[in-house]
Amino acid sequence: MVGIGSASGAATFPALNDPSTKESHPGKFVWAELFTSDSAAAAKFYSGVFSWTVTTLDMKGVAYTVFSNAGHPVAGLRQRSHPTAGKASRWVSYVAVADIASSLSRVPKAGGTLRAPARAFPSLGTLAIATDNEGSPFGICGMGAVFVTRSGGMLFDVTDGTSLF
């Protein structure tokens, strides 16, 4: 999910799991992504505070930054496509689900709102962003991708057992 910037991005991500795994964790937080109007400043801030390393990838003309901790990717960073003056950067945490269509259908019934409709990403799965009944954003990850939590980060790998990163 790392990056919902391009549905068919050709970027090469660093390896997350070695060896690959087929574990899945529906209902668990699996990735975090920062949406910001100043990606350079945000990368400098978070790498300075947490000693994260920064890798910026080109996803078909859209920059996507991967933060890593001790060599393991832990979060992503995206430049907002339409920067809004005075609007604060926002972290979005993604939750893995077994059935994204079912989960998305329950969002409005529970008082939430779909903000970014589900999009399929090759070898990755389907991703969407919603807000809860109080307006807090969260991401939903369909289980086309297999998510693995490891000490030091929230990680994922594709279902065929090959490493996406």
Q: Is 29-158 a domain of CATH 3.40.50.970? A: no
| Rounded Cα distance, 42 and 105, in Å | 34
- Could you tell me which residues come within 8 angstroms of residue 139 by beta carbon, excluding any fewer than 6 positions away? 1, 31, 33, 92, 93, 94, 95, 127, 128, 129, 130
> Could you tell me if 46 and 126 are in contact, meaning their C-beta atoms sit under 8 angstroms apart?
no
Question: How is residue 125 written in tokens?
Answer: 């799965």
pLDDT on residue 72: 79
Q: What is the pLDDT of residue 42?
A: 94
Considering Cα of 98, then 13, then 69, then 2, what sign does the dihedral take?
Answer: negative
Nearest of 158, 161, 95 to residue 128 by alpha carbon? 95
pLDDT tens digits, residue range 96-140? 888 899 999 999 999 999 999 998 765 556 889 999 999 999 999
Share above pLDDT 70 across residues of the chain, in percent, rounded to a whole number:
66
- Domain spans of the chain, in order of start: 29-158
User: Is the whole-model pTM more than 0.85?
Assistant: no
Q: Is the pLDDT of residue 154 over 60?
A: no
Long-range contacts at 100-106 (CB < 8 A, ≥ 24 apart): 100/125, 100/126, 100/128, 100/140, 100/141, 100/142, 100/143, 103/140, 104/128, 104/130, 104/140
Give tens-digit pLDDT for 59-92. 778 888 989 888 878 888 988 877 666 678 889 9
- Partner residues linked to 62 by β-bridges: 59
